Amino acid sequence: MRIDLPSEIFKNEQSLPDLLYLLRAIADGRHDWVVSPDVIDQAERFFATHVPKLARTYAELAEKSMVAAVWSGQLDSAATVRVEADKLDDYVADLCRPALIVVEDETSDGYFLRAIARSFGAKRVLEALAKGWLELQHGGGGSLLRITSIAVGKYRVQPRVIALLDSDRMIPNQTTDSHRKAEQIQKLGINTHVLQMREAENYAPNRVLITIGRRKEAHRKLTHLKKLSKEQRDHYDMKLGFGPEDKQPRIPQDQVDLYKDLDISIILGLRGGFGKNILSKLEEMSPTLTSRDFDALGEDVSSELRSLLNKISSVI
């Protein structure tokens, strides 16, 4: 996160332990220091007085932070955390603990998030996950609101939490329990993202699906899948398809109109789905994927996933 430390902090000797702890996190690249020239002057005097042996090191950190802010446009303080001098210890505690993504399933959502971060070049997200600066919090289905509330309670003044939910939509634009949960979570002051498609598995590009299981069988299923419209593919049960392959196809009542024009051969061919390992395969292949692979799923897919990654980056 971008950290704005007011000059008053550098006038109080008692702030030194907390300040040094936070500056260590900044030096490690965990946060960015948005610093102005007048604060640099005050900071240099403070360091020279209280930590003379390290004064030059911290002064250089401040100068580098100011230059970096200029070149990256970070002088725009819209996403900046302004630390209150009288609550420095609270801010340091919050900024030096991991940010949290509350998800429905830590394992499968972890595959998904690491995969899209790698595919879209979100190095900040990948680094934070690898270094423990960002953690996934398993929220379960019905416990998501309660778990998110508990997660928020772990912070004193600056909650760094985001919630990610499958939409579970059966048809386009449907409002589901996931959307209602998201509204309740947002009342806690927490940003949320409800996937536009049915589930994370629906975002797996065709290049991933063709590698699942026996190639001949995967090719046959993928051929049928490509005959679906975008709306039909977005809401297809990628894991289980239209029921077991050895039984009559099952189309949920909510989806009868959505799939009513499909040829029976396509419906039969899409029984069984692509299995439960779609997301692990997505992560496995993510080093070879780019945004173009996701563009093939629809013109808004890449922009949605970039928006999700930006939301995550905002709390790191």
Secondary structure (DSSP) of 72-87: HTTTSGGGEEE--GGG
Q: Does 192 share its domain with 306?
A: yes
**If 0-12 CB within 10 Å is exposed, 13-18 middle and 19+ buried, where does residue 149 land?**
middle
What CATH number is attached to the domain comprising 118?
Answer: 3.40.50
What is residue 165's DSSP assignment? E
CA angle 17–18–24, rounded 5-degree value: 90
**Dihedral (CA of 37, 41, 43, 47) sign:** positive
Q: Show the DSSP H helices in the chain as ranges.
A: 16-27, 37-50, 55-72, 88-95, 106-119, 123-131, 144-153, 177-186, 206-209, 215-225, 230-235, 256-259, 264-269, 278-285, 291-295, 301-313
Q: Are strands 32-33 and 2-4 parallel, antiparallel or unpaired?
A: parallel
> In this predicted structure, what is the pLDDT of residue 69?
57
Q: Does 157 share its domain with 86?
A: no
Neighbours of 184 (CB within 10 A): 14
Q: Does 28 share its domain with 75?
A: yes
Q: Does 177 share its domain with 306?
A: yes
**Residue 284 maps to a domain:** no
Question: If you count them, how many residues does the chain have?
Answer: 316
| Structural domains in the chain (count) | 3
Q: Does 105 share its domain with 64?
A: no
**Residue 285 maps to a domain:** no
**Residue 132 maps to a domain:** yes
**Residue 111 maps to a domain:** yes
Q: Does 222 share its domain with 262?
A: yes
Q: Does 64 share its domain with 174?
A: no
**Structural domain of residue 63, as residue ranges?**
2-95
Neighbours of 216 (CB within 10 A): 8
> In this predicted structure, what is the pLDDT of residue 75?
43
**Residue 24 maps to a domain:** yes
On whether the CB atoms of residues 125 and 309 are closer than 8 A, the answer is yes
**Residue 161 maps to a domain:** yes
Residue entry with tokens 């209602």: 180
Q: Does 107 share its domain with 40?
A: no
Last residue of one domain, picked from the residues 37, 63, 95: 95
> Taking the complete model, does pTM exceed 0.75, yes or no?
yes
Q: Does 188 share its domain with 206?
A: no
CA dihedral 198, 200, 206, 207 (to 10 degrees): 180
Q: Which tokens hold the place of 283?
A: 């992560």
Mean pLDDT of the chain: 93
Last residue of one domain, picked from the residues 53, 80, 95: 95
Q: What is the pLDDT of residues 120-155, one digit of tens each?
A: 999 999 999 999 999 999 998 679 999 999 999 999
Q: Does 80 share its domain with 9?
A: yes
pLDDT block averages, 10 residues each, the chain of length 316: 92 93 93 87 90 86 72 52 96 97 97 98 96 94 90 96 97 97 95 98 98 94 97 98 96 97 97 97 98 96 97 94
Q: Does 150 share its domain with 296?
A: yes
> In this predicted structure, what is the pLDDT of residue 68?
64
Last residue of one domain, picked from the residues 31, 64, 95: 95
Q: Does 251 share its domain with 132?
A: no
